[in-house]
């Protein structure tokens, strides 16, 4: 994927019911470049099920447009994760994550996951780095004119970068 010869396109997704961040990078000869990033924000007044459909269809559009070779999500399996506050929000997060994975699998795109600390370590070199530090390093690694905004998009880009770095042995397809 991150070989010296064959360029690869990686889609990172930071799923959420309110905001789903995405970041698409191109890897060629060890050079990383951001193709696109941003977030999917289904209107908050919609029913949860309608919001899931919007997230799913938006990810399908990204897959169609950029034809990535991998989709990468965060493994949020740590009970002390700040995003996992209670059973209700954990279930909702799981739902958003599940439909992101499904969008890729329906197109036969492999799915990978990394723990938040691993993604931070890949980008900043420190698994306990702050969001601010991550944004700064994502900007630097991708040579962006400014730190990626919003935070969810920065997190998604950091997952894609993590996968680009992890191509040797330690990536896990889920």
Q: Does 61 bind a second copy (CB under 8 A)?
A: no
Smaller CB separation from a second copy, 41 or 92 = 92
Residue 82 in the binding site for a second copy (CB under 8 A): no
Tell the smallest beta-carbon distance from residue 88 to a second copy (Å).
5
Q: Is 155 a catalytic residue?
A: no
DSSP-assigned states of every residue in the chain:
---SSS-EEEEEEE--SS-EEEEEEEEETTEEEEEEEEEE---TTS-HHHHHHHHHHHHHHHHHHH--SEEEEE----TT-TT--SHHHHHHHHHHHHHHHHHHHTTT--EEEE-HHHHHHHHHS-TT--HHHHHHHHHHHTT-SS--SSHHHHHHHHHHHHHHHTTTTT-EE-
Which tokens hold the place of 129? 């780095």
Tokens of 69: 């070779």
**Binding to a second copy, residues 98-157 (CB under 8 A):** 98-99, 101-102, 104-106, 111
Q: How far is the CB of 114 from a second copy (least distance, A)?
A: 14
> Shortest distance, CB of residue 108 to a second copy, whole angstroms?
9
- Rounded to a whole number of angstroms, the minimum distance from the CB of residue 97 to a second copy is 6
In this complex, which beta carbon is closest to a second copy, that of residue 5 or of residue 47? 47
Tell me which of 28, 146, 152, 173 is the catalytic residue. Answer: 152
Instruction: Judge whether 50 counts as a catalytic residue.
Output: no
Chain contacts with a second copy (rule: CB under 8 A) = 47-50, 52-53, 56, 76-79, 81, 84, 86-88, 90-99, 101-102, 104-106, 111, 173-174
Active site residues: 14, 74, 152
């Amino acid at each position: 994927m991150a070989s010296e010869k064959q360029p690869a396109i990686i889609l990172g997704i930071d799923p959420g019911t309110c905001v789903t961040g995405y970041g698409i990078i191109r890897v060629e000869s060890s050079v990383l470049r951001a193709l696109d990033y941003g977030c999917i924000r289904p209107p908050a007044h919609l029913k949860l099920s309608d919001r899931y459909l919007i997230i799913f269809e938006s990810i399908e559009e990204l897959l169609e447009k950029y034809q990535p070779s991998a989709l990468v999500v965060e493994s949020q399996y740590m009970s002390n994760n700040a995003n996992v506050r209670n059973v209700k929000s954990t279930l909702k997060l799981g739902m958003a994550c599940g439909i992101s994975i499904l969008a890729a699998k329906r197109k036969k795109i492999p799915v990978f996951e990394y723990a938040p600390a691993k993604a931070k370590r890949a980008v900043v070199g420190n698994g306990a780095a702050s969001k601010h530090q991550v944004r700064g390093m994502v900007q630097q690694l991708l040579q962006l004119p400014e730190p990626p905004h919003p935070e969810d998009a920065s997190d998604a880009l950091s997952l894609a970068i993590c996968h680009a770095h992890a191509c040797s042995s330690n990536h896990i397809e889920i």
